[in-house]
Amino acid sequence: MNLKKIIREEIDDLQWIHDIRLEPFNVERATEEIFEYFKNGFRFNNDWVISFNNFTGVVEWVNQNNDEIVFYATPFWDGADYIPIDYQTEDGYGTITTIKIADFKYMEEFRQWLKTDYLEEVWRIIDDYYTRWFLN
């Protein structure tokens, strides 16, 4: 097989890339997708349940072993370019920290971030806080 034929076959295999229409990033659209992604809730790293609260408009993280504390970590809360990580107990409300959100050029970048980096970064912070203050 000659080199030209190999290259031509490789190019043909990647032709689908030209068909992708990249949607520019839009905060309003991202907010809609956050709702869609979390609306039914799901379990993360065994102990955590993440869901979207329709009434308050926030992403909630609850440890299934202790519902006395609720964590909030909503990307683009109030249009900000960061995620405030807050908590609420029967004793009150507090802020743990904020996470700067990356600049996205396309919606697909945002979607990948939401399903990977967002979950891991927020979980790491919340789980550490929960372990230090509620398990010790």
The confidence band for 45, taking pLDDT boundaries of 50, 70 and 90, is confident
- Own/partner contacts of 82-90, CB < 8 Å, gap of 24 or more, are 83/118, 83/122, 85/122, 85/125, 85/126, 87/129
With tokens 């609420």, the residue in question is 88
Please indicate, yes or no, whether the overall pTM of this predicted structure exceeds 0.75: yes
The confidence band for 23, taking pLDDT boundaries of 50, 70 and 90, is very high
Tell me the three state secondary structure of residue 45.
coil
pLDDT, tens digit, for every residue of 56-114? 999 999 999 888 899 999 999 988 999 999 999 999 999 999 999 999 999 999 999 99
As a whole number of angstroms, the distance between CA 44 and CA 126 comes to 12
Mean pLDDT for 25-42 is 93
| Mean of per-residue pLDDT scores for the chain | 88
- Least confident range of 10-19, 56-65, 86-95, 121-130: 10-19
Query: For residue 12, what pLDDT is reported?
Result: 59
Contact 60, 52 (CB under 8 A): yes
Please say if the pLDDT value at position 136 is more than 90: no
Query: For residue 7, what pLDDT is reported?
Result: 58
Query: For residue 43, what pLDDT is reported?
Result: 87
Tell me which DSSP letter residue 124 carries: H
Query: For residue 17, what pLDDT is reported?
Result: 57
Contact 85, 72 (CB under 8 A): yes
Within 10 angstroms of residue 48's Cβ, the number of other Cβ atoms is 20
